[in-house]
Structure 1
Amino acid sequence: MTAATTAAPVGHDTAPTGHDLAEVGRSPATLRTFLHGLPGVDQVGADQRAAMLATRSIKTTAKAWAIDLAIRMVDLTTLEGADTPGKVRALGAKARRPDPTDAGCPPVAAVCVYPAMVPVAAEALAGSGVHLASVATAFPAGQAPLDVKLADTRAAVAAGADEIDMVISRGAFLAGRYHEVYDEIVAVKQTCGDAHLKVILETGELASYDNVRRASWLAMLAGADFIKTSTGKVPVAATLPVTLIMLEAVRDFHAVTGRRIGVKPAGGIRTTKDAIRYLVLVNETAGDGWLTPDLFRFGASSLLNDLLMQRAKLATGAYSGPDYVTLD
């Protein structure tokens, strides 16, 4: 991909200064004033730009590169009540060697599981370099006291998780209790220790693009290493326009602070064509500096299968049969 074509934010103002940010989290009033002073989102403009970028296509060598990059960006996920140790071990093996017939196929970025399955996943991934992520903080609803959320996080990290995917309290955010959400993120970040923190905004429940922008900035101000769209447990998950707004937020945050925050769309991303659309969006919005698993991830399960089949198609010229990849 070529260097990004920098576009103005789909809003009407400029980003705040670094001096302003030093004061933002000091009180509920200053945080509210800051969040409601962010540029408003032009919904029509965001939808149109995302739709325009989705029409871009890449071919042959560039497509092969994009597929391998997308594989390296996958957080291979199983978050079901029926998860078993055997399923998690199989997922770990697939994460390490997505295509057992091709040693050149890269591993995925991470495996993401519930805290109870972290010890099993840690054993399955030992020595692989694949990260181990765990959802925590009463995922997916987030409806639990803070001490329960912190205990959930602490247990996952102690068992071997080096990434924590937390959910924000959407009820508190929508009620305008921004500082309560801020304080929870700060506390979870402290509990994570050296583990990276991905903050799930559950954008499908935030009601407006303006709220997506506010929640993105709130999470980054509180110490998030990544901001993530969704749990995958509500009807509306990741979308291109919402991810565009989040990418603009991390780009602007970096311009002010010098700190790069990652973005993770999750839920509903199932095909190679979908993944490439997101990669184009990243390149054209935040820039090619974000085209790395350290700063962009896909929360997915079935996406990897399609990426592997398309990869084989490019290599052989023919689509593989339905038994080419394992079912997750």
Structure 2
Amino acid sequence: MTTTQLALRDRTQSLIGGEPSDANLNRYLHGIPGVDAVGLEQRAAGLGSRSIKTTSKAWALDRIISLIDLTTLEGADTPGKVRSLVAKAMTPDAADMSTPRVAAVCVYGDMVPYAVEALGSAHSAGRDDGINVAAVATAFPSGRASLAVKLSDTSDAVAAGADEIDMVIDRGAFLSGRYGQVFDEIVAVKEACRRADGSFAHLKVILETGELNTYDNIRRASWLAILAGGDFIKTSTGKVAPAATLPVTLSMLEVVRDWHRLTGVKIGVKPAGGIRASKDAIKYLVTVAETVGEEWLTPHLFRFGASSLLNDVLLQRQKMTSGHYSGPDYVTID
């Protein structure tokens, strides 16, 4: 077991009062207060109904762009499509060079080299003004593979230049109560995110909330992912309905808030899948600000996993500048 894995186990042991076994994790996770579903949904609806001023909307649109993981995750992806995606990430609106760049491009692991090459000097390399390359891994989207395959999937993407890894948890193991197995897999994947220089690619843990069935399960899975070393918790793969919803994201943000109060450590949140309109994305910004604070509205702590959202934001942004909407050929088709 590596130093990192031992450190994660030690931290977890101190919090749950023992080894991260199924029994101890079950006792700890089921000891977390249950979710008031009605209250959660009412609060999400209230936050989603907030109106913002025109000046705030202009800021919000730019902030949304800067928080987007521009994504293509299709079996028909090609190097050419990835290069086109990168070009859009670098210059979202060629007619307005004041438009912010997105936070990252998100692709399958075998597409990482093409994304890194296309980004060139725009590749983040840890800079605040750069664009990250995120790779989905661990037999995305199902997670149905051996641990050896999942770790190889992850380490290959990191070796190819991925800055971030979006892994999927084993939902079958989680729903069966095999929390120790889920914990151990996340810890192992975190170790596989280690680069040659000893630093780590950031790990986003996808819960696939649409398959977890209840808010209580989503809360427990969020705690489990953080205990095991996830840097971000992410709602969905985008391949299962329902994907991201405002109540689910609010529930995950509350876990992040409580973790920060408990440990002082900030964890990121990424709603992904189904967020296509600017007006909906703004609701998420409000929810983040009201739940964990505006300091979370940075690419280091909040992302939108999206492909078509950027187009709508660009159209809304152009409307605020010119007073009218552009035609359908104003933005590229993803």
Instruction: State the match for 2:77 in structure 1.
Output: 83
Match for 2:91 among 84, 92, 97? 97
The aligned amino acid for 1:115 is: G
2:62 aligns to what?
Answer: 68
For the 8 Å contact 2:169–2:207, the answer to whether it is kept is: yes
**Aligned-pair CA distance for 1:315:** 1.1
Partner AA of 1:251 in structure 2: R
2 CA distance for matches of 1:30 and 1:294?
Answer: 31
Distance 2:53 2:322 in 1: 16
**Cα distance, 1:185–1:18 mapped onto 2, change above 3 Å:** closer
Residue equivalent to 1:187:
188
In the alignment, the residues of structure 2 paired with residue 124 and residue 39 of structure 1 have an alpha-carbon distance, to the nearest angstrom, of 47
Aligned equivalents of 1:124, 1:21: Cα separation in 2: 44
User: Could you tell me which amino acid in structure 2 is paired with residue 268 of structure 1?
Assistant: G
Residue 25 of structure 1, CA deviation: 5.0
The one-letter code matched in structure 2 to 1:256 is L
CA shift for structure 1 position 286? 1.2
Unpaired segments ≥5 residues, structure 1: 1-16
Does the CA-based 8 Å contact 2:164-2:201 persist in structure 1?
A: yes
Q: Give the whole-Å Cα distance in 1 for the aligned partners of 2:60 and 2:19.
A: 39
Task: Say whether 1:126 aligns with 2:120.
Answer: yes
Shift of 1:160: 0.8
Q: Which of 319, 324, 331 lines up with 1:318 in the alignment? A: 324
Q: Which of 244, 251, 263 pairs up with 1:238?
A: 244
Q: Is 1:219 equivalent to 2:219 in the alignment?
A: no
Q: Could you tell me which residue of structure 2 aligns to residue 42 of structure 1?
A: 36
SS at match of 1:127: helix
Match of 2:140 in 1: 139
Matched letter for residue 99 of structure 1: D
Q: TM-score, normalised by structure 1?
A: 0.93
CA–CA separation in structure 1 for the residues paired with 2:19 and 2:77: 39
Q: Distance in 2 between matches of 1:45 and 1:185?
A: 31
**Does the 8 Å contact 1:186/1:222 carry over to 2?**
yes
1:134 and 1:163 in contact (8 A); partners too: yes
Question: 1: CA distance between counterparts of 2:293 and 2:149?
Answer: 38
Deviations 1:163-217 (A, max 9, x none): 0000000000000000100000000001101100000000000010000000000
Deviation of 1:288 (Å): 1.1
Measured against aligned partners, the alpha-carbon deviations of 1:239-269 in whole angstroms (never above 9, x if no partner) come to 0000000000000001001110000000000
5 Å-filtered alignment, 1:1-328, equals: 20-21=14-15, 23=17, 25-128=19-122, 129-193=130-194, 194-328=200-334
**How many residues align structurally?**
312
Which 4+ residue blocks in structure 1 deviate beyond 4 angstroms? 17-20
Q: Distance in 2 between matches of 1:75 and 1:59?
A: 26
Determine if contact 2:16/2:28 at 8 Å carries over to the other structure. no
Which runs of no fewer than 5 residues in structure 2 stay unpaired?
A: 1-10, 123-129, 195-199
**Deviations 1:56-101, CA, capped at 9 Å, x for gaps:** 0112111000000000000000000011111100000100110111
2:19 and 2:103 mapped to 1: Cα distance?
A: 32
Q: C-alpha offsets along residues 20-46 of structure 1, whole Å, 9 cap, x if unaligned?
A: 526465332221111000010000011
Question: Which residue identity is paired with 1:28?
Answer: D
In structure 2, the residue corresponding to 1:299 is in which secondary structure? strand
Which whole-Å CA distance do the structure 2 matches of 1:112 and 1:204 have between them? 21
> 1:324, 1:83 → 2: CA distance?
23
- Partners of 1:19 and 1:289 lie apart in 2 by 30
Give the TM-score, by structure 2 length: 0.91
Matches of 1:23 and 1:132 in 2, distance apart?
A: 37
CA contact (8 A) 1:25 1:179 kept: no
Which amino acid letter does the alignment assign opposite residue 225 of structure 1? D
- 2:244 alignment partner, SS class: coil
**Does the 8 Å contact 1:18/1:256 carry over to 2?**
no
- Counterparts in 2 of 1:103 and 1:187: CA distance versus 1, 3 Å: same
The root-mean-square deviation of aligned C-alpha atoms, in Å, is 1.3
Structure 1 residues 35 and 22, CA gap change in structure 2 (3 angstroms): closer
C-alpha contact 2:13 2:19 (8 A) present in aligned 1:
no
**Greater RCO, 1 or 2 (C-alpha within 8 Å, sep 6+):** 1
Kindly indicate whether the alpha-carbon contact (under 8 Å) linking 1:18 and 1:257 is maintained by their aligned counterparts in 2: no
Give SS of 1:75's match: strand
Amino acid at match of 1:191: A
Alpha-carbon offset, residue 272 of structure 1: 0.3
